[in-house]
Amino acid sequence: MQTPLEHTYAAAVPELSVPWPAEKPPRPEIVWLNEELARELGYDPQQLRSEDGIALLTGQIDGTVAQAYAGHQFGTPNPQLGDGRAVLLGERVDPAGRRHDLHLKGAGRTPFARGGDGKAPLGPMLREAVIGEWLHALGVPTTRALAVVSTGEQIAPRQGVTPEPGALLLRVAASHLRVGTFEHAAWHLDPEVRERLVEYTLTRHHPSADGPLALLDAVTGAQAELVAQWMLAGFVHGVMNTDNMALSGEGIDYGPCAVLDEHRRGAVFSSIDRGGRYAYGNQPGIALWNLSRFAETLVELIDPGQPNSAVDAATEVLEGFEARYLEAHARGLARKLGIPSASSEEVRGLGDDLFVLLEQQTVDHTMFFRALAEGGAEGLFNESDPYRAWVSRLEPLRGGDGQADDAAAAMLNANPIYIPRNVHLDAALRAAHLGDLEPVRVLLDAVSDPFTRRTGLEHLEGPGNGGEHFLTFCGT
């Protein structure tokens, strides 16, 4: 394919990857190609459908590597993780000069496979594609799928006994540098390697920052912004282990993720999160916990001769996370509520009471905000008086008639109609498993343009039946 991929990460820190080829799938076939993203990357979609294109999409190229990383999984350190069933194909520099990782999931066993077969099933690969396109359409920093390719083989099932169709996902990311990457380096490699890793991360993602403390500050700010947007969207990542926190500030690894129907702080949809560690309302606190683990990997580099001073400096950065998160959340909430200008304290107070009210009256998170934008939210509440009292506090913050009209129009572009609701996404993935891809394509179309109501998509607007008891499984 035209311009070859680059390999700056493998060259800068070769200690953190292993040259490794992707297995050749027996009968590859493109299930879904993200033509918009292909063009952004400078690829011709038609060329990607050619023989050379299929070779790229299935990793049949030189220079692929499996990346090493570690991580805290559900709070417990695991010193050796890594790309167990994936390879980094390389880096694509798009026409605008932005560098992207191309990363292939389901590519077969690697040295980090830990007993797995290295394969991936079709359903979870499509799930990651749908979630990524939805978040991207909302303006939330996220990895995205360039393509989902069926492999033409049946693989061992992740649940049950029936074999599943195998698939590959070609994921595009700003990079795959994670908190877990730094944990691996801190636990296994010497300071000189860690210094190179810091410099590479700064150059690639935070070029205006200088040094490990500034890197911690930049990543802290990026994560505060990201998690605030997740919370406003009603998104539950489901497995916020440190190896799933990208230093670029993008969301990554959408395995047992889900979205809220009814607004509930304690919502958990992951079958493996039995203690609710990664519940919806816990996500900001978990982000700070992960950042604290990141800070621990940097202490020796922040001030090699004065560890106590380094800890104090890192702690000061971490203590600023809450304010940065609250500011980002208030800014986004003001847009969703149609408030053109107000203090963060006013917006936060209004928001805190709103979310309590939504939970008390089991109101749908997404439907409320969209109905508010369209002027019909009161009908969602079982008891209207508390809602009316809340609205009486909102209205003065929305300004005069001119301001309120502009804000109301902006609200329609801030509050989606379509989200990948649990029941609808699960039904679409089940259909794909049985060979019917049309429901997934319809859902992808809906969530890729989530603010525009279209005829024929009415069934995707509501939550469906059984969403509150829905469980997802770690399949990606």
Q: What pLDDT digit, counting tens, does each position of 325-336 carry?
A: 999 999 999 999
pLDDT (mean) for 35-45: 98
Give the H/E segment covering residue 67.
Answer: strand 65-67
Residue 221 and residue 332: Cα distance in Å, rounded?
15
Please choose, from the candidates 372, 374, 375, the residue with its C-alpha nearest in 3D space to the C-alpha of residue 354: 372
> Tens digit of pLDDT for each residue in 103-113?
999 999 999 99
What is the per-residue pLDDT for 222? 98
What is the C-alpha to C-alpha distance for residues 218 and 228, in angstroms, rounded to an integer? 16
pTM for this prediction: 0.95
State the Cα–Cα distance between residues 369 and 355, nearest whole angstrom.
11
C-alpha dist (Å) from residue 309 to 182, 198, 316, 317: 21, 19, 11, 13
**pLDDT value at 297 more than 50:** yes
Can you read off the two tokens belonging to residue 417?
A: 């109609």
- Give me the sign of the Cα torsion angle 393, 397, 398, 400: positive
What's the rounded mean pLDDT across residues 42-57? 97
Residues tagged active-site: 243
Q: How big, in percent rounded to 5, are the helix, strand and coil portions of the chain?
A: 50, 15, 40
The edge-to-edge listing of strands for the beta sheet with 17-19 is 17-19, 65-67, 86-93, 99-105, 164-173, 144-155, 29-33
What would the mean pLDDT of 35-54 be, rounded to a whole number? 97
* Mean pLDDT, rounded, for 391-400: 88
Q: What are the tokens at 438?
A: 């049309």
pLDDT of residue 476: 47
Q: Would you state the pLDDT for residue 469?
A: 65
Give the range among 136-145, 303-312, 465-474 with minimum mean pLDDT: 465-474
pLDDT for res 398: 86
The answer to whether residue 407 scores a pLDDT higher than 80 is no
pLDDT band (50, 70, 90) for residue 468: low
